[in-house]
């Protein structure tokens, strides 16, 4: 097993989290890391899908001039033009 050093402050936070959740520090760290990596994976997949949809829109001609878009955003949010 490989060990990964963490700062004393982070170790204290981990120990506190583990104590509050009735886990040992290793189990708490594994849970937190798994949750974080799962969330990051979902965020990445969503970003890739959004880019894919945007490229599909461009290929299909579903676009509009940037000036038109920015004018709409300014009106919608009350920004000066």
Per-residue pLDDT of the chain in tens (81 residues, 90 and over written 9):
899 999 999 999 999 999 999 999 999 999 999 999 999 999 999 999 999 999 999 999 999 999 999 999 999 999 997
Predicted pLDDT at 1: 81
Whether 47 maps to a domain, the answer reads yes
Q: What is the largest CA-CA distance in the chain?
A: 60
Residue 1 lies in a domain: no
**Token digits of residue 9:** 């402050």
| Predicted pLDDT of residue 79 | 95
For residue 43, is it within any domain? yes
Parent domain of 13: 8-77
Asked whether residue 2 is domain-assigned, the answer is no
Helix (H, G, I), strand (E, B) or coil at 3: coil
Number of compact structural domains in the chain: 1
Kindly state whether residue 49 falls inside one of the protein's structural domains: yes
- Whether pTM exceeds 0.95: no
pLDDT at 81: 77
């Amino acid at each position: 097993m490989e060990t990964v050093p963490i700062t004393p402050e982070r170790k204290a936070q981990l120990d506190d989290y583990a104590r509050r959740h009735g886990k040992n520090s290793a189990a708490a760290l594994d849970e937190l890391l798994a949750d974080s990596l799962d969330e990051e994976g979902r965020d990445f997949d969503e970003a890739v899908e959004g880019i894919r949809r945007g490229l599909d829109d461009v290929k299909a001609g579903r676009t509009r001039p940037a000036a038109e878009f920015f004018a709409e955003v300014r009106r919608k949010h009350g920004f000066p033009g």
